[in-house]
Structure formats: C-alpha cells, structure tokens
Structure 1
C-alpha cells in the first residue's frame, strides 16, 4: 500500500511529541512493508530514509489548475490570523499577537509565488505557511497518482489533507494527536478550532491517540463516535536503557520534563515539591523545558522559598534528555489534559518510576505507574515521597514497567493502522 502522508516536522528536527510520533509510526509502517510518501514543509537533509520524502519548499505551483481557486477560497481562516503560534498559553499568545499584528505582509503576494520557502518552524507567519502548505499539497496530489489514500497529522496538516483529497478524490485520514482544548483549555483559539473541525468533518476516518482524545472529538467537535478509532502511541525500543551517566549530587531527584504551559500542569508540580521538601529537605526537583509559564514558575518557587532545591534547565534535547531521565529517581507528568504523553514511556525505559495524571492518554496503556488527578497535590506529594523512601515500591514499578514496554511497540501500532487503511479502502471501493 502507498500512502500520501502530511506532517509538519520529522526527526531530528522536532519541537515536541508530534514529530516523535510521526517517526515511530513511519518506522512501524516500514517494518510492515508499507510505502509512505511523507511530505513536510521543509526537509533538512539528515532525516532517516524511512519514506519517500517530499520537500514542500521544492514544489512549484501551477495555477492553471482550476481547483486551486476553490481551495484558496476555503482557506478563509488566513484572513483571521496570520500570526498564530501553537502551544502558547493565553498570556504569551496575547503578547505575541500585540506585536505580530503590526508586522504582516501582503498575503496574496507571498502565497501566490511559483515556489515558497517554508521555514519549517512555528513562527509569526505560521498560518500563511499552513495555507501555502495546503496549496502545495494540492499540487503534489495532482502530480502524483501513485498513492491510495491520504493521512494528515494534526491541525497544521489538515488543510493540506483536505486539498489533496479535493484534487485526487482519494480517502483522507485525519490523525489527531492533540486538540485545541488540550492546548488551551476552554479558551480555544477560534481559527485553530475551525481548522481542526473542518479537517475532522472532511476526513473519511479519524484516528485519536487515546480514548480521552476521542471523547473530546465527539463531545467538543460534534463528530460521530463511529467515525473515530483509537490508535495509542508507543515506543521505538522496548529495551531498558542502562546509562553510565551518574548524578553529581547526593540527594534524590524528582523530574518534570515537558513544555512549561497550562496543558502540562507545571504549577501542580511546584506545589507538590514544596510539600515534599517540607517533609524531607534532602530532595531536589528539576523542571526541564520551556514555555509561557516559565517565569511564573520561577517566581512561585522563590515565593515558596525552595529555590535552593529546585532547578530549571531550559529546553533539553538529544543526549541531555537521556541524561535527565538517567539521574532521576522519580518522573512526574501532572498534565491537565494530555492526549497521550510519550515521555512517561521514555522514563520507564530508563528504569525511572513514574507518576502520571489520570487526565492523560498514556494512563490508558501504562498500567504500572502511579496515577493521580493533576489537581491533587497532596496525592502527588504522597506518591513522590513513597517512591523516594520505600525502595521495595520503587523496585516493583521498575520491574513491572520493563515487562510492560514489550507490548507497547510501534510495529504493533502500525499493524493495527494497516488494518484500518485496508478497511477504509474496502469501504470506498
């Protein structure tokens, strides 16, 4: 089977879990001998050759295609905002738009060129790039007839998937890794919500990374439940990582690793840290990541007078992430709303006992982790204290977690996805 797949990023150039999930899925599909045409706004040249990659920045548009005009008319959200950036909280979003709104360009002039140099990032011209990506997708779908269906990942690629479907008539799968409700709570950004909803409505089938996400799709976007199936994320390698990296401090280390935004619940981690340190001052807490709530968290740590035991590392990547997991005695993911959450699986791979919020998709597949409500800082603090001070409990989670990983592989996920592909094609034929 040959699939035309649209994403926004691919390792090693990623900013979060979306690129990691795309990599795992493509590698799993490659294991099952599926052929993937993977389109990204910008290729960097060092991507692992797992697919037939297409660099959208190299595609030349031919505006003699009449359908381009109808596709452009449907991209009305561009008129609402050309400076929207994903993963910002309401506070940082407001600051960003205050200056970005004064720095717009003539959109028609920039969009309607024969070639377009995508940044491949999440900058102030993001919505312009999303729009051009859709037009480019139409061109790719028109030029190539060697695919059987279309698979688009998240809202940034949904307009591209819709455009490719309009040109080719091939079925579209919309893969939802996160919704605007996960990123922003109830204060959703209307343009993103409308793009998500349009993508879900246009799709022949929707994949959700968890039952939690499926419920949001059904209840918030009005999509029939039978149109949505759940495809959990996984890990690339189920083996336990035995790192030689040693921590340089005698205290136990408790880690939060992720975007420091509303969605990830960093404030609950800080409040729980205070409770643990009051009971045992010989513990260090680490918040690894960046985001719009970072300054607020630094201020709160100072207010609580725990700064000598609390560390902010900034954004980590590559080996630094592995080193952080390796020196951690407990990993905590207190997400307010986490569609899935791959990081706890990575923590388990490093033999690190894990605490996760019940409001996460990974809680549906990771049995051997302590699960708490994100808002229950007393329960979080008690769980952290127990894992740090009762070695038998910690060892139990390490042993059971390593066994559990073996059933959470991307090739198993890809096998289920191939069956979904086959079912959709059978229904269409």
Structure 2
C-alpha cells in the first residue's frame, strides 16, 4: 500500500508529541511493508530515511491553474500575524483568533510565487502556511502515485482534503488533540475548530488516539461513530533505561514535565505540592516546561512560600528530558483533558512511578499507575506522599509498569492501521 501522509513536523525537529507519534507510526508502518510518502512543510536534511520524504518548500506550482484557484477559494486564511501552535492554550487562542476569511476567485501573482519557502515552524505566519501547504498538496497528490491519504491533526487537514479532491483516494484523518482539549469545553471555536471539523467530516475514516478523543469527535464534531476507530499511541522502545546520572540533592524529587497551559493542569500540581510539603518539607518539586501559565505558577508558588522547594527549569528537550525523568522519584501528569499523553510512558521507561489524571487517554492503556481526578488535589497529594514514603508501593509500580510497556509497541498500532487502509482500499470503485 502506498500512503501519502501529511504532517507538520518530524523528528528530530519537533515541538511536542505530534512529531514523536508520527515518527513511531511511520516506523511501525514500514515494519509492515507499507510505502510511506511523508510530506512536511520543510525538510532539514537530518530526518531518518524511513519514508519517501517530500519537502513542500521544493514543490513548484502554477497558481494560475484552475485546481489551485478552486482550492484557494475554500481555504481559511489569516491575514494578521499569529503564533498559533497545534497545542494552543486558551489565552493564546483568545489573543490571536481575530481573523479574516477570504473567498477568492483569482490569485494575486504579486503575493504568490511558484515556489513557496515554508518556515517549518509554528511562527507568525502559520495560518498562511497551512493554506499554502494545502495548495502544494494538490500538486503532490497529482505527482505522487498513492492508494491512501493520511493527514495528522488540523494543520494537515486542509492538505488532506485538497489531495483527496485531486486524486479521489480515501482520506484518513488522524486526530491527536482537539480544540476542546486545548481550550476547554466552552472555548472551542474559531479557525482551528473549523479546520478540525472540516477535516473530520471530509475524512473517509477518523483515527483517534483514545476513547476519550473518540467521544469528543462524535459528540462535539458530529462525526459518524461508524467511521471513528481508536488507535492508542505507543513507545518507540519498550526497554527500561538505566541512567547513570545522579541527583545532587538529598531530597526526593516530584516532577511535572509538559506545557504549562490550562490543558495540562499545572495549577493543581502546585496546590498538591503545598499539601505534600506541609507534611514533609524534605521534598523538591520541579515544573519543567513553558507556556502561557508559567508566570502565574511562579507567582502562586511564591504566594504559598514554596520558593526554596519548587523549581522551574523552562523548556527541556533531548537528553535533558531523559535526565529529568531519571532523577525523579515520582512523575505527575494532572491533565485537565489529555487525548493521550506519551510522557508517562517515557517516565515508566526510566523506572519512575507515575500519577496520571483519569481525564487522559494514556489512563486507558497504562493500568499500573495511580489515577486521580485532575481537580482532586487531596488525592494527588496523598498519592505523591505514599509513593515517596512507602518504598514497597513504589517498587511494585516500577516492576509492573516496566512489564506493561512490552505490549505498547508502534508495530502493534501500525498493524491495526494497515487493516483500516486495506478496508478503505477495497471500498474504492
């Protein structure tokens, strides 16, 4: 099967879990002898050669052709500068969603060139790049022979729709996170929501990363339940990592590692930290990451008088992330709404017991973890205190968690996806 896949990022150049998931899925599909044509806005040259990579920045198109004009008319284009990202929080959303919708029947050649250089980042012209990416997709769909189209998240949905219109091939829309996750149940509106909805409704099949996400897709976007299936994420390597790094403090360390935004529930982590420190001051809490709530969290920690026991590292990547997991005695993910959440699986790989919210997709597959409601800071504090002070409990979760990882492989996920591809292919006239 030849799969034309549209994504926005691919390792090692990633901003979050989306790129990591794309990498794992592609690797799994290659394991099952699928031919992948992976399109990204910009190639950097150091991507692992797992697929036939297509650099959208290298594709030349004639904007005077009718197919491009027709595609452009149906695109939502933001004229203002914006810093929308696939993991947008509510405050950034409210700040940057004042937009203008253009219905154009012509193309101004003073604005467009035959070859567009994408930044490959989530910068100020992201929405413009999303629209241009869809235009390029029409040309790629015409150039590249394929059987299935697979688009990852809202950034790639317009491209997937455009490719389907040109080639007529089935479209699989992979939803890794929804605007309801990012902005809360009452804040899903505007261009990102509209792009998500258009992609999900246009798709021949929708792949959700959890039952939690599947329910949102059906209930909030009106998608036919019969065309939505669940494929949980996995880990690239199920082996336990035995790190040689040693922490330079005698206290136990409890870590929050992720974007410091509404979706991730950092405020609940801070409140739980206060309750733990009141019971045992010989504990250090770490909040690793960046986001729109960072300053508020720093202020709240100061208000609670925890400055000497609470640390902010800023955004971590690469080896620093691995080292942070390795020196942590407990990892906490108190997400308000988490479509999946790969981070707890990575923590388990480092032999770190985890506490996760019941409102996360990973809670559906990770059985050997303590699960709490994100808002229940008393339960969170009790769980943290218990793992820190009862070694037998912590050891049990370490042993059971490491054994559980063996079943969470991308090859297994890819095998299920191949059956989806084959079913759609057989339904083709």
TM-score normalised to the size of structure 2? 0.95
Match for residue 380 of structure 1? 380
Match for residue 216 of structure 1? 216
8 A contact 2:255–2:330 mirrored in 1: yes
* Alpha-carbon distance between aligned partners in 1 of 2:123 and 2:92, rounded to the nearest angstrom: 14
Q: Secondary structure at the match of 2:332?
A: strand
8 A contact 2:97–2:191 mirrored in 1: no
Match for residue 390 of structure 1? 390
Match for residue 73 of structure 2? 73
Match for residue 370 of structure 2? 370
Does residue 255 (structure 1) correspond to residue 255 (structure 2)? The answer is: yes
Deviations 1:42-94 (A, max 9, x none): 0000000000000001110123532212111110x215766250234333444
8 A contact 2:82–2:123 mirrored in 1: yes
8 A contact 1:111–1:132 mirrored in 2: no
Alignment of 1:71-150 (within 5 A): 71-75=71-75, 77-79=76-78, 83=82, 85-86=84-85, 87-95=87-95, 108=108, 112-144=112-144, 146-150=145-149
8 A contact 1:37–1:54 mirrored in 2: yes
* Alpha-carbon distance between aligned partners in 2 of 1:79 and 1:242, rounded to the nearest angstrom: 47
* Aligned-residue offset at 1:123: 1.0
Q: Secondary structure at the match of 1:290?
A: coil
Alignment of 1:25-424 (within 5 A): 25-75=25-75, 77-79=76-78, 83=82, 85-86=84-85, 87-95=87-95, 108=108, 112-144=112-144, 146-185=145-184, 186-424=186-424
- Ranges in structure 2 where 5+ consecutive residues have no aligned partner: 101-106
8 A contact 1:111–1:128 mirrored in 2: no
**CA distance 1:358–1:80, change in 2 (3 Å):** farther
**CA distance 1:365–1:81, change in 2 (3 Å):** farther
Deviations 1:261-306 (A, max 9, x none): 0000000000000000000000000000000000000000000000
Deviations 1:293-332 (A, max 9, x none): 0000000000000010000000000000000000000000
8 A contact 1:256–1:269 mirrored in 2: yes
Q: Secondary structure at the match of 1:340?
A: coil
**CA distance 1:93–1:122, change in 2 (3 Å):** same
* Aligned-residue offset at 1:254: 0.2
* Alpha-carbon distance between aligned partners in 1 of 2:393 and 2:108, rounded to the nearest angstrom: 61
Q: Secondary structure at the match of 1:137?
A: helix
* Aligned-residue offset at 1:37: 0.3
**CA distance 1:134–1:234, change in 2 (3 Å):** same
8 A contact 1:209–1:233 mirrored in 2: yes
* Aligned-residue offset at 1:142: 1.1
* Alpha-carbon distance between aligned partners in 2 of 1:148 and 1:64, rounded to the nearest angstrom: 28
* Aligned-residue offset at 1:219: 0.5
* Aligned-residue offset at 1:33: 1.4
Q: Secondary structure at the match of 2:166?
A: helix
Q: Secondary structure at the match of 1:307?
A: coil
8 A contact 2:97–2:190 mirrored in 1: no
8 A contact 2:245–2:327 mirrored in 1: yes
> For the aligned residues, what is the CA RMSD?
1.6
8 A contact 2:78–2:128 mirrored in 1: no
Q: Secondary structure at the match of 1:223?
A: coil
Q: Secondary structure at the match of 2:150?
A: strand
Deviations 1:150-169 (A, max 9, x none): 00000000000000000111
TM-score normalised to the size of structure 1? 0.95
